[in-house]
Structure 1
């Protein structure tokens, strides 16, 4: 019996080694952008989100662009009323990982860094900490639009020029 257990353990180790050796070390690069918004169920407001997603697709034509909403309430309302399922940032990143994306850039639509942005940052940091078979080669999080004093000054200049009258 002892020799049977030893043989079984050895076989398991050999088979594991073969599986590890057969796993591709370098998967081909596949880039994606995940636009993350709080979300909206209002059609007019949805146009603004769609415009940003469309602009991102035009700016990065060789990169797949996806959308996720942070609000579970909005996601459930859209699913119920429009029969459309919009993923959470967590499920969107997991899906992109499953589909072999190697480089993902998370673009938040937040105006200022706050609780929602901190939650996304924690999520991105968690995914970035994964090493080995399920890791992204690159996972980056963009900043909110007004995340520094310089950003606020620039926005103030833009608004002053736009509404100078």
Structure 2
């Protein structure tokens, strides 16, 4: 039976971040199971158009699956690089359901933080990534969503607290906790220096603009306006080998569950 791996991401127009974060995860997944032909897809039409103008042609999720079916692939393992089970992931599930009859099997892994294992594993990685420093608090900025999947962020905060890392605080651009909530928590801590970093797969547009952009509403400027020294940190999670291993674990689990290993 002809099998294939399809890694699907939202995508980013920031080329350095795309290579360092998304492509790094794709390579790790492909290298972990080299017998599977590896394909990629981006879900953002805007990102695909921008990249196409640069000569980088990456299909959407549905066209990628249709091409796999035309190529005679019978079993597809889909690895989403999305962090949480939000609207984007729901759309993937719906599209996969519509195209599933074209394959003998189409299996999709959960998002990175789609269960307790993922949340705990990432919390431990973050603790190692950002060692405790006297007088410094780490503020991690996620995308956030109105989807119930936003619960991932307070869940991750809870695990960090359990691990004794109250110096790591999580906020979101479009969900909860918001900047006001993080500022309230900071007021209870004895710190004046903040390391501001993205809690995102890719340090793309949100990191450049929403996190540390020149606008007064950016998190950096709002935190500085409250009297904090803010040090921006522009690195996405995808470049971390430990996070890549989490995605590899998701993929291997997907394959092993099929084969009954």
- Tell me the TM-score normalised to structure 2 length: 0.48
Matched residue, 1:58: 31
Please state how far the C-alpha of 1:148 moved relative to its aligned partner: 2.0
Please state how far the C-alpha of 1:57 moved relative to its aligned partner: 1.6
Please state how far the C-alpha of 1:127 moved relative to its aligned partner: 1.4
In structure 1, distance between residues paired with 2:115 and 2:129: 21
Match 1:77 to one of 50, 53, 76: 50
- Report matched runs for 1:17-56 at 5 Å: 29-47=1-19, 48-56=21-29
Matched residue, 1:26: none
Matched residue, 1:144: 111
Is the alpha carbon distance of 1:150 and 1:59 closer, same or farther for their aligned partners in structure 2, counting shifts above 3 Å? Answer: closer
- Gapped runs of 5+ residues in structure 2? 133-261
Please state how far the C-alpha of 1:34 moved relative to its aligned partner: 0.6
Matched residue, 1:101: 73
Report the secondary structure of 1:117's partner residue: helix
Q: For residues 63-118 of structure 1, give each alpha carbon's deviation from its aligned partner in whole angstroms, at most 9, with x where no partner exists.
A: 111110000001011112x1222100000000000000011011101000101110
Aligned residues: 131
Alignment RMSD (CA, Å) = 1.3
Please state how far the C-alpha of 1:119 moved relative to its aligned partner: 0.3
1:153 corresponds to 2:120: yes
In structure 2, distance between residues paired with 1:137 and 1:73: 32
Larger of the two Rg values belongs to structure: 1
Q: For residues 30-54 of structure 1, give each alpha carbon's deviation from its aligned partner in whole angstroms, at most 9, with x where no partner exists.
A: 1111110001111111111111111
Matched residue, 1:120: 92
Please state how far the C-alpha of 1:151 moved relative to its aligned partner: 2.2
Report the secondary structure of 2:113's partner residue: coil
Matched residue, 2:251: none
Report the secondary structure of 2:91's partner residue: helix
In structure 2, distance between residues paired with 1:76 and 1:38: 13
Please state how far the C-alpha of 1:149 moved relative to its aligned partner: 3.2
